[in-house]
Structure 1
């Protein structure tokens, strides 16, 4: 299969490229040529920019396209229109962030999504800062889906992952817990022990997406994991069993954390306070993907491989997770109050 990957050298794109090459596919990458350019010397690399420089995509043909890098509908429209007669199948990597009304458990693919008015969309087009646009990330992703479906009717696959984790994940969200547990000592654990969490190993996602592309599957699929419910307590305990037997989990009440300005998701990755009324965000229904063959490697493998990769990094500032001094201060206050 001749496969075009929009992206291809960073995290999911990297995992997709590796899986495709291992399966014997002929891979072409399209990206700006700025990240990990030494990777995959054996593949064809087209240099361009989704923001306007798409000339290298013109006059070519592929069996299928996998789009890992689109989140602005106007740029997705441009590339999809160029490729609509150049490829037989188009896979767009979207996100479960498209959904709204997140207070409901078990969000499936038919759940309501966030919408943008035409006026708001026009405002976003004129914004120059990425942060302003990312505030509407989910709504924009959904509009990207629509652009793909419009250009590739009955020839498109929409994949909505949750949190993607594993080696080469530079967000520091999952790896915060792996590194913190490995460090040992008193570890602040947030809120309810039985709170559900969801994530998917990037390699499991990539391998499944590739199989879906090979079979020319169409439709929309949630894609996160694991297969059965995983609680925060079980996740942290399995981190302890894998990398950090010396860690001591100290469970701190949600109200106390919020009162000490410990933020969900950023300070405590994978944790969203109950008060946010977003329990559906980490309990997404993945039965459709499971029926389509989505499978998962052991959690311990994801933890250990992530830790091994993290040990090779030289990072001076983490993008997510609680500052060590703040963690220490909160735990001291929690203990002194006898809570």
Structure 2
């Protein structure tokens, strides 16, 4: 299969390339922050908003476009207008954050979009993802191509540049304690980066015009994350109960929701039922993640 991957050379895109390059002919289009040229058929370095550079690409036919970096209204329409090649299917990586928040409902793919506009970068991110989803659906109808939208939850795993699990792994590698909080009742859902990559591979192998949540059904707590990291490192003694105020004063990393009122529940059954999809157990995924980060935080002497 001939695939054009837009963006995503840091985290999800990098893992996808490592998993897909031996099976598919990959062309990458990104800004060149991290080259994957040795793994792919060809790689073009450009910004998708540089219309002249976009129009200068070879006019090739692709089976599928995988878009990891559409964040703003107009991103997909501009690409489709100026891209000189053709394609059969468009797969957009979106986010579960597009759903209306704090409804106390389990968020399946038919739940409504968020209609509140949050301040700051988070609000811009949510608004942008909603706009590009709507844009893709409208373009697919008017230009007669098929599409899939994948909505991952919080992604963890090797190469994650967001300071989430990596911040906790770094502390543990430096023999600093990892905390659990007696007053934190939040449970949240994550998804292993390799599972998102596998979901992409299964969808493009048998394309379905649909929207899919990509999030593990497992409910996770801070205690589970800290325990699994420390168990993998054989440092269970570093697990410490702490009160939240003290942790905040110390600048302790708190990248996940702490309380139940902050947490959303997502239904992942559509992907499971459609593709017989199986998620990696959290313990397995976090074990692999810790092992992947060890050369970064505990380099060999």
Asked whether the two chains share a fold, i.e. TM above 0.5, the reply is yes
Which residue in the other structure is 2:220 paired with? 230
In structure 2, relative to structure 1, the CA distance for the partners of 1:103 and 1:249 (3 Å cut) is farther
- Render the CA deviation track for 1:119-159: whole Å, top value 9, x for unaligned: x9xxxxxxxxxx95554211110111111112223611111
Any gaps of 5 or more consecutive residues in structure 2? none
Q: Shift in Å at residue 116 of structure 1? A: 7.4
Conservation of the 8 A alpha-carbon contact between 1:183 and 1:244: no
The answer to whether the aligner puts 1:279 opposite 2:263 as a matched pair is yes
In structure 2, relative to structure 1, the CA distance for the partners of 1:191 and 1:218 (3 Å cut) is farther
Alignment of 1:62-73 (within 5 A): 62-73=62-73
- Render the CA deviation track for 1:218-263: whole Å, top value 9, x for unaligned: 21111112x3333333333222322243434333455x469x5688
Conservation of the 8 A alpha-carbon contact between 2:171 and 2:177: no
- Render the CA deviation track for 1:44-70: whole Å, top value 9, x for unaligned: 112321122312446221011100111
Distance in 2, Cα, partners of 1:79 & 1:177: 38
Alignment of 1:177-326 (within 5 A): 177-184=168-175, 186-190=177-181, 192=183, 195-225=186-216, 227-253=217-243, 256=245, 267-274=253-260, 277-280=261-264, 283-292=265-274, 293-313=276-296
TM-score computed with the length of structure 2 as normaliser: 0.84
Which residue in the other structure is 1:31 paired with? 30
Q: Shift in Å at residue 87 of structure 1? A: 0.7
Conservation of the 8 A alpha-carbon contact between 2:71 and 2:125: yes
Q: Shift in Å at residue 95 of structure 1? A: 0.7
Q: Shift in Å at residue 176 of structure 1? A: 2.0
- Render the CA deviation track for 1:87-130: whole Å, top value 9, x for unaligned: 1100000011112232524211122222479xx9xxxxxxxxxx
Conservation of the 8 A alpha-carbon contact between 1:239 and 1:303: yes
Conservation of the 8 A alpha-carbon contact between 1:6 and 1:29: yes
Conservation of the 8 A alpha-carbon contact between 1:184 and 1:246: no
Conservation of the 8 A alpha-carbon contact between 2:56 and 2:84: no
The answer to whether the aligner puts 1:138 opposite 2:129 as a matched pair is no
Conservation of the 8 A alpha-carbon contact between 1:8 and 1:29: no
Distance in 2, Cα, partners of 1:7 & 1:43: 16
- Render the CA deviation track for 1:169-227: whole Å, top value 9, x for unaligned: 111201223333444454322354653122111111101111101101121111112x3
RMSD: 3.0
Which residue in the other structure is 1:86 paired with? 86
Q: Shift in Å at residue 7 of structure 1? A: 1.6
Any gaps of 5 or more consecutive residues in structure 1? 121-130, 316-339
- Three-state SS of the structure 1 residue aligned to 2:21 is helix
TM-score computed with the length of structure 1 as normaliser: 0.75
Conservation of the 8 A alpha-carbon contact between 1:28 and 1:44: yes
Distance in 2, Cα, partners of 1:303 & 1:182: 15
Conservation of the 8 A alpha-carbon contact between 1:190 and 1:271: no
Q: What number of residue pairs does the alignment pair up?
A: 292
Conservation of the 8 A alpha-carbon contact between 2:65 and 2:87: yes
Distance in 1, Cα, partners of 2:121 & 2:226: 34
Which residue in the other structure is 2:41 paired with? 43
The answer to whether the aligner puts 1:111 opposite 2:102 as a matched pair is no
Distance in 1, Cα, partners of 2:98 & 2:91: 16
